Structure 1
Amino acid sequence: MNDAPAPRTILEYGLSSGNAGLVQLLGLCPLLAVSNNAVNALGLGLATLLALIATNTVVASIRRLTRRDVRIPAFVMVIAAVVTTIELSMRAFLPDLHAVLGLFVPLIVTNCAIMGRAEAFASRHDPARAALDGFATGLGFLAVLLAIGLIRELFGAGTLFAGAGRMLHLPWLELTAIEHYRGFLLAILPPGAFIVLALLIALRNRWQARRAAASTHPMEAA
Structure 2
Amino acid sequence: MSDVNYKEIVHNGLWKNNPALVQLLGLCPLLAVSGSVVNALGLSIATIVVLVGSNLSVSLIRNAVTDAIKLPAFVMIIASFTTCAELLMRAFTYELYQILGLFIALIVTNCAILGRADAFACKNKPVPAVIDGIMMGLGFSVVLVIVGAIRELLGNGTLFADMHLLLGEFGRGWTLQISENYPGFLVAVLPPGAFLVTGFLIALKNIIDSELQRREKLRQTQETEAVSRRVRTTGNIT
The question of a shared fold, defined as TM-score above 0.5 by the shorter chain, is answered with: yes
Write the distance in 2 (CA, Å) between the matches of 1:127 and 1:178.
49
> What residue identity is the alignment partner of 1:181?
Y
Greater Rg, structure 1 or structure 2?
Answer: 2
Q: Deviations over 1:64-89 (max 9, x none)?
A: 11122111111111000000000001
The number of aligned residues is 220
Could you tell me which residue of structure 2 aligns to residue 92 of structure 1? 91
Aligned 8 A contact 1:148 1:197 in 2: yes
Cα deviation 1:143-170 (Å, max 9, x = unaligned): 0000000000000011012111234312
Q: Which amino acid aligns with 1:184?
A: F
Equivalence for 1:38: 37
CA separation of 1:73 and 1:219: change in aligned 2, threshold 3 A:
closer
Aligned to 2:130: 131
Q: Which residue number corresponds to residue 7 of structure 2?
A: 8
**Where does residue 182 of structure 2 map in the other structure?**
181
Closer, same or farther: CA 115–93 of 1 in aligned 2, 3 Å:
same
Which residue of structure 1 lines up, in the alignment, with residue 198 of structure 2? 197
CA pair 5-177 structure 1, distance change in 2 beyond 3 A: farther
Percent of aligned positions with the same letter in both sequences? 48
Q: CA–CA distance in 1 between the matches of 2:16 and 2:165?
A: 36
Name the structure 2 match of 1:216. Answer: 217
2:90–2:97: 8 Å Cα contact kept in structure 1? yes
Please state whether the residue corresponding to 1:105 is helix, strand or coil: helix
CA distance in 1, matches of 2:179, 2:214: 38
Contact 1:35 1:152 in 2 (8 A): yes
Give the TM-score of the pair, scaled to structure 1. Answer: 0.95
Q: Which residue of 2 aligns with 1:20?
A: 19
Q: CA offsets, 1:81-138, max 9 Å, x none?
A: 0000000010001101100000000100000000000000000000000000000000
**DSSP-derived class of the 1:64 partner:** coil
Do the aligned partners of 1:148 and 1:193 also contact (CA within 8 Å) in 2? yes
Q: Which runs of 5+ in 2 are unaligned?
A: 223-238
Contact 2:39–2:100 (CA under 8 A) maintained in structure 1? yes
Alignment of 1:148-163 (within 5 A): 148-163=147-162
The answer to whether the 8 A contact 2:19-2:25 is kept is yes
**Preserved CA contact (<8 Å) 2:42 2:166:** no
1:52 alignment counterpart: 51
Equivalent residues of 2:38, 2:165 under 8 A apart: no
- TM-superposed CA distance for 1:52, in Å, is 0.5
Residue 167 and residue 96 in structure 1: after superposition, are their counterparts in 2 closer, same or farther (change >3 A)? farther
Structure 2 distance, partners of 1:219, 1:78, is 46
Structure 1 runs of 4+ with >3 Å offset: 218-221
Could you tell me the TM-score, scaled by structure 2's length?
Answer: 0.89
1:10-46 per-residue CA deviation (whole Å, 9 max, x = no partner) reads 0100111100000010001011100011110111011
RMSD, aligned CA: 1.6
Q: In structure 1, what is the equivalent of residue 109 of structure 2?
A: 110
